[in-house]
Amino acid sequence: MRIRHLEIKRFRGIKELKWCVDGDIVCLIGPGDSTKTTILDAIELALSPRWNIPFDDTDFYDADTSEPIIIRVTVGDLPEEFKSDAKYGLEARGWSPSGELHDEPKHEDEMVLTIQLRVEGSLEQSWAVVNGRNPEGKHITAKDREKLGCARLGDYLDRHFSWSRGSILSRLTGEADSLSGILAEASRAARNALSEVPPEKLTSLRQAAIQAKESGKVVGVAPTSEYKPHLDVQAVSVGVGALSLHDGEVPLRRAGLGTRRLLAVAMQRGVAKASGLTLIDEIEHGLEPHRIRRLIRVLSAKDEENTCPNVMMTTHSPIVLAELDAQKLRVVRHNQGKTKVLPVPQELQSIIR
């Protein structure tokens, strides 16, 4: 999956943005409050595998809820199943080699889909594949959005080290059905483990169960067999968020920030290959200069098929700028709600370094 075009209307600090996204690796630079992070947020939300996202009035531009938030992400390099008429083929658009979007695809155009997230003033949200022929669009499910492989590595990257919905680990695992079976077995094992705890270790809990039995007698309620403390499988089932990656006996979320960010990027690179999108906010955060340089070089390296991974990042670090080619940099400018993303001419490479 590759982003070809991005359109944002009335989302947080952005009243309007239209951007033709070119390049496998794009680094957004600019002063604080120029809406760099907002751009990443918009892409993440539009491609999110979650079926419900907590929005509030402050997510609307100038907190004005009279008009909806609109985020449209046009993506190419699609999964084959998305191209069939039974899926989203009838909603397909064309992306020309010169960077133009056509509602009626032409012979030389790449087949693309425009995924729209719409948030009403009531905070009701909807996702659809839209085009000029069908502005209302066709609903795209959370499961299908997950197949696009968008991963955000920012303040909440720890979720990628657990088997939660949309996490990198879940995508590495593969089939969701097999994971559900594993988690069910883990729940049963937890119940069996509690049964083997010696009674003297649960004295206070067992005493409470006895008191409950005696209290029940007063009102004519008696146990069928015996009241005892035990695990309720449904109430304390081992869910996808509870099963996480460990280094020995220690959860990986306890590792240093730099280590976690590097590992998350490496995992995403392994699972996405050339078909996923990695969003990284302030790529230098938590990393020493030598680690920043190594990470940039790894992200820029091509795979066996001579293809670069699809990465969009932000930075305030001169070290990142020195490592990247000028053609990978985009300057974000913001004025009275209108955001523009401008390329950096290649002839400025020596000045940047």
Torsion of CA 70, 59, 281, 250, to 10 degrees: -120
Q: Is 160:168 a contact under the CB 8 Å cutoff? A: yes
- Residue 177's alpha-carbon distances to 50, 168, 184, 192, in angstroms, are 18, 17, 11, 23
Q: Is 261:154 a contact under the CB 8 Å cutoff? A: no
Report angle CA 280, 281, 284 to the nearest 5 degrees: 90
Report angle CA 228, 230, 233 to the nearest 5 degrees: 145
- Structural domains of the chain in order of their starting residue, each with its CATH number: 2-162+244-352 (3.40.50.300), 180-243 (no CATH)
How confident is the model over 257-278, as a mean pLDDT?
73
Residue 333, pLDDT above cutoff 90: yes
**What confidence score (pLDDT) does residue 274 get?**
47
Residues 6+ apart with CB under 8 A from 2: 24, 75, 76, 77, 277, 310
Cα–chain center distance at 111:
24
Residue 147, pLDDT above cutoff 90: no
Under the banding of pLDDT at 50, 70 and 90, the label for residue 228 is: confident
- The reported pTM is 0.78
The tokens for 277 are 């999108």
The tokens for 187 are 């729940």
How confident is the model over 183-203, as a mean pLDDT?
78
Residue 273, pLDDT above cutoff 60: no
Cα separation, 175 vs 164, in Å, equals 13
**What confidence score (pLDDT) does residue 94 get?**
94
pLDDT digits (tens, 9 = 90+) for 298-328: 888 776 665 667 899 999 999 999 899 999 9
Under the banding of pLDDT at 50, 70 and 90, the label for residue 50 is: confident
- Residue 100's alpha-carbon distances to 24, 106, 110, 232, 295, in angstroms, are 18, 11, 10, 57, 33
- % of the chain with per-residue pLDDT over 90: 43
